[in-house]
Amino acid sequence: MADIKKIVTDHIDVWTAAIEKKSTMGRGSKKKISLHGIKKLRELILELAVRGKLVSQDPSDEPASVILKKTAKEKLKLIDEGKIHVRKISVVITDEEKPFEIPVGWVWARLPDVSDYKPGKTPSTKNPVYWSDNIDDYPWVSISDMEHYGLVSDTSKKITQEAVDQVFKYDPILAGSLIMSFKLTVGKIAILNVDAYHNEAIISIQAFNDISRDYLFKFLPTRALEGNTKRAIMGNTLNATSLSLLLIPIPPIAEQHRIVTKVDELMALCDQLEQKTENSIIAHQTLVRTLLTTLTHSANAEELQQNWARIETHFASLFTTEHSIDQLKQTILQLAVKGILLPQDPNDEPASVLLEKIEEEKVRLIKEGKIKNQKPLNANNGQNKLYGLPKSWMWIPLGNLVKVMDAGWSPACIPEPSLDNEVWGVLKTTAVQVMKYLEYENKILPADKDPRPQYEVKTGDILITRAGPKNRVAISCLVEATRPKLMISDKIIRFHLVEIGMCEKFISLCLNGGATAEYLESVKSGMAESQMNISQDKLRLTPIPLCPITEQYRIVAKVDELMALCDALKERITLAQATQINLTTAIVAQAVN
């Protein structure tokens, strides 16, 4: 018998430290991390319970074989009374089917042996007579209305009496009944807190006498996920046959109740661990954010050094998560574009002189017909609040620094990436990351379409996304290296600086931090976050904190150095997290076996 409390307490640091980053794909919780260790602990509790290793057996308990004889009689009686449908005789359970050994006094049973169940229906959505906005009409449950292991008290949709009479033709499923999804999302389970109907992807389950509803509630999901599944359009699904074949280990009824009580007790302990861990994570994030804010509020490089000294003492305990490293990276960008990351050199030629050279070069290019005449832009435009800069710096609209700005072309493409240097491709917006260019993020240009070489991306291009989901708009990078025959799409703007030696990477850095990034965020337009954009005119007005050319290169070198340190630190954190996750797997395997 596994001593689960000892397993919890002896390895509590492992359970709480095993945290993994969630995938950014798909829908669901907005939390960016998963408490993997505590999740595995919950799974272990259920696994030990269903194997008969969580509570002791009592030889005086009535064996489960007697329970099944009673349920068989009850089932026949309900069929005779017309209360349940006749099902096929259960297929005999062979030894080969049994996934693990169970204690003496337990039996393996199939789902129809211990419960009655039936799928729901979906009235035609094209018939408004069946659907209602009246809160007093019948609740109709879809999978999205269900919280796993929760109660369903309300639903997003209601059905009318006409739907009941013409489609369902039976009374609502009573409050207190189990419901479980068995199509697309398999094993999501809940208890009805109201009388309701449900759709055809959900079964409602009525446990027979001497079968604990709460026992089925705890363990049906894991058994369903190990059932006879087949692939559907979006995930796994169970059908009538596979549902009827589901195997469930049944203990004596008294032990069922003891198991449920013990599981509830241990899950409450997991809840406490989870809450404590989440509170600790939130407190840590708040502390990191507060201390990093003191850095960005430094008046100059000298004050920054003083503030950093306070943080450096506790560096090892502060920057222990990927989130904290990402915050540190953003702070480095902020410090760089505010001119306080490095001390200024009084011998540097100030930005005002640099601007004069830029204007002289633009006049020359206009005379030679290489660029069009453009009216100089105002740095502030009354649209944004700009912070003070060092004396040798000045705010300049991006358009005043740019020689050429254009967008690309978005033909219908083959979704596979173009990896062959001889095959033309079109960059996706995901090719543009914060300060990083990913050339393999592209689509193949079909052979029946002629490429447009004027849109070919080149080393030295500065790219910025202009359209897409809100979090994918106004992201910028410098193309430091690329392969030939890749075109920018019309959702990407690119530009070249006036060629007098300015550091393109510094300008790209500015676009991703400080007041410049805040301005870009403020001028995004669109009715929904799923599709927003920023115009070239707004982009030209973007305020850039221009500093002397020599300082631009010093800042970029320092930022590169610090970002490399952050990446190395993040890699060590990732390896440590992987170790913790592997430890939880090993502990679970040892406890189960």
In a domain, 450, yes or no: yes
Average pLDDT, the chain: 88
Instruction: Look at 362 and 380; give whichever has higher pLDDT.
Output: 362
Q: In the structure, what pLDDT confidence band is assigned to residue 323 with cuts at 50, 70 and 90?
A: confident
Q: In the structure, what pLDDT confidence band is assigned to residue 27 with cuts at 50, 70 and 90?
A: very low
Percent of the chain having pLDDT more than 70? 93
Helix 301-312 vs helix 253-296: angle between axes, to the nearest 10 degrees?
150
What number of other Cβ atoms are within 10 A of residue 338's Cβ?
Answer: 23
Q: Kindly report the CATH number assigned to the domain that includes residue 183.
A: 3.90.220.20
CA distances to 22, 34, 36, 579 from 19, in Å = 9, 6, 5, 10
In a domain, 417, yes or no: yes
Which helix (H) or strand (E) is 163 found in, with range?
Answer: helix 161-163
Locate all alpha helices (DSSP H) within 297-369, ordered by sequence.
Answer: 301-312, 315-318, 322-338, 351-367
- Say if residue 235's pLDDT is above 70: no
- Say if residue 382's pLDDT is above 70: no
- Say if residue 383's pLDDT is above 60: no
Q: 0.95 exceeded by the pTM?
A: no
Q: Find the mean pLDDT for residues 497-523.
A: 92
CA distances to 33, 344, 352 from 508, in Å = 29, 21, 20
User: What tokens appear for 19 in the block?
Assistant: 């945290």
- Say if residue 2's pLDDT is above 90: no
Query: By residue range, what is the domain housing residue 155?
Result: 83-251
Place of tokens 């990034």: 517
pLDDT in tens, 167-211: 999 999 999 999 999 987 889 999 999 999 999 999 999 999 999
pLDDT in tens, 464-499: 999 988 888 999 999 999 999 999 999 999 999 999
What number of other Cβ atoms are within 10 A of residue 80's Cβ?
Answer: 9
Last residue of a domain, one of 207, 223, 251: 251
Which helix (H) or strand (E) is 433 found in, with range?
Answer: strand 432-433
pLDDT in tens, 431-458: 999 889 999 999 999 999 999 999 999 9
Question: What's the pLDDT at 29?
Answer: 42
CB 417 within 8 A of CB 425: yes
* Lowest model confidence (mean pLDDT) among 85-94, 122-131, 243-252, 463-472: 85-94
In a domain, 476, yes or no: yes
In a domain, 157, yes or no: yes
Last residue of a domain, one of 530, 547, 564: 547
Question: What's the pLDDT at 381?
Answer: 52
Q: Find the mean pLDDT for residues 414-436.
A: 92
Question: What's the pLDDT at 237?
Answer: 67
In a domain, 25, yes or no: no
Question: What's the pLDDT at 588?
Answer: 82
Question: What's the pLDDT at 7?
Answer: 79
Query: Same domain, yes or no, for 522 and 376?
Result: yes
* Lowest model confidence (mean pLDDT) among 91-95, 229-233, 253-257, 462-466: 229-233
CA distances to 102, 186, 283, 502, 554 from 498, in Å = 77, 59, 47, 8, 20
Percent of the chain having pLDDT more than 90? 61
Question: What's the pLDDT at 28?
Answer: 38
Question: What's the pLDDT at 301?
Answer: 86
Q: Which of 193, 40, 190 is nearest to 586 (CA)?
A: 40
In a domain, 504, yes or no: yes
Number of domains forming the structure of the chain: 2
Place of tokens 């009944």: 177
Question: What's the pLDDT at 302?
Answer: 87
Q: Find the mean pLDDT for residues 420-435.
A: 93
Q: In the structure, what pLDDT confidence band is assigned to residue 245 with cuts at 50, 70 and 90?
A: confident
Q: In the structure, what pLDDT confidence band is assigned to residue 387 with cuts at 50, 70 and 90?
A: confident
- Residue 137: partners with Cβ closer than 8 Å, 6 or more residues away: 158, 159, 160, 161
Q: Find the mean pLDDT for residues 134-157.
A: 94
Q: Is 18 helix (H, G, I), strand (E, B) or coil?
A: coil
Instruction: Look at 459 and 15; give whichever has higher pLDDT.
Output: 459
Question: What's the pLDDT at 254?
Answer: 96
Q: In the structure, what pLDDT confidence band is assigned to residue 380 with cuts at 50, 70 and 90?
A: low
In a domain, 283, yes or no: no
- Say if residue 232's pLDDT is above 60: no
Question: What's the pLDDT at 227?
Answer: 53
In a domain, 15, yes or no: no
- Say if residue 534's pLDDT is above 60: yes
Query: Same domain, yes or no, for 90 and 212?
Result: yes
Question: What's the pLDDT at 231?
Answer: 38
